[in-house]
């Protein structure tokens, strides 16, 4: 499914996917497609459907997809689906694979954010800052620090870190719809810091060029 799925055909797209998977329940990439459908449901404001898809379709090991869906739900002020196991996230971070690519480490950071594990996020940020790879030092470290500030109810420092990054967030890896969650986090930090005008400007390209989404409405709500 294309990276732009979140931006079009929100209700119809999920229904079409359900029809297709009913005819081919063992389709390749089923879980990934259901994750996209969960994002569509979040965009449309059907949060119960998003939680249901995450809980029934995503496996224990789908830490990245589950955490990305849940962090979006939390940013929109909604109850999350079943969270990834925190001990499992810690084990993944302790293994070499958890640090093999910037995007993998970022997904684990989202899992820590969903769990509200501020101390572990700070530890991840320190480890990233000491990593010899520039993408870890320059991008992952400030993103992880910002997530730690958000979970510690300190939106001001979080928005400073994320604003300073600007377009460098592309270096985190993944596709646009996966990276967009960093912008979502910045929008929430701006609202919580009492800067709704800056938040509206940040999301203007989304609210003015896409079919209107309930999700963006909630991101811009106090």
The answer to whether the beta carbons of residues 93 and 104 sit under 8 Å apart is no
pLDDT of amino acid 10 = 45
Whether the pLDDT of residue 6 is over 70: the answer is no
Q: Is the pTM of this model over 0.85?
A: yes
Between 210 and 170, residue with greater pLDDT: 170
Q: For residue 2, is pLDDT > 60?
A: no
Residue 13's pLDDT is 59
pLDDT digits 0-9 by tens, 164-206: 999 999 999 999 989 999 999 999 999 999 999 999 999 999 9
So what's the pLDDT on residue 183? 97
Give pLDDT, residue 170.
95
User: Residue 98 to residues 8, 92, 106, 113, 174: CA-CA distances in angstroms?
Assistant: 33, 5, 9, 16, 15
Our CA angle for 113, 117, 121, nearest 5°, is 70
Does the structure show a pLDDT above 70 at 20? no
Section 98-127 average pLDDT? 97
Alpha-carbon span 14 to 142, nearest angstrom: 34
Q: What interhelical angle do 118-129 and 102-115 show, nearest 10?
A: 160
pLDDT in tens, 116-163: 999 999 999 999 999 999 999 999 999 999 999 999 999 999 999 999
């Amino acid at each position: 499914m294309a990276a732009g799925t979140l931006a079009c055909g929100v209700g119809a797209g999920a229904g079409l996917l359900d029809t297709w998977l009913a005819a081919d329940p063992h389709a390749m990439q089923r879980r990934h497609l259901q994750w996209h459908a969960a994002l569509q449901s979040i965009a449309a404001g059907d949060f119960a459907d998003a939680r249901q898809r995450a809980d029934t379709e995503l496996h224990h090991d789908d830490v990245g997809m589950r955490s990305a869906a849940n962090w979006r739900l939390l940013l929109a002020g909604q109850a999350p689906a079943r969270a990834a196991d925190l001990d499992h996230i810690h084990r993944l971070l302790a293994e070499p694979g958890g640090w093999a690519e910037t995007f993998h480490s970022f997904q684990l950071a989202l899992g820590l954010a969903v769990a509200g594990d501020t101390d572990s996020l700070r530890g991840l940020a320190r480890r990233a800052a000491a990593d010899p790879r520039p993408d870890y030092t320059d991008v992952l470290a400030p993103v992880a620090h910002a997530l730690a500030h958000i979970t510690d109810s300190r939106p001001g420092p979080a928005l400073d870190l994320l604003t300073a990054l600007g377009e460098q967030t592309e270096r985190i890896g993944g596709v646009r719809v996966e990276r967009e969650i960093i912008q979502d986090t910045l929008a929430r930090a701006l609202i919580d810091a009492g800067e709704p005008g800056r938040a509206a400007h940040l999301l203007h390209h989304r609210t003015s060029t896409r079919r209107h989404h309930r999700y963006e409405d909630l991101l811009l709500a106090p």
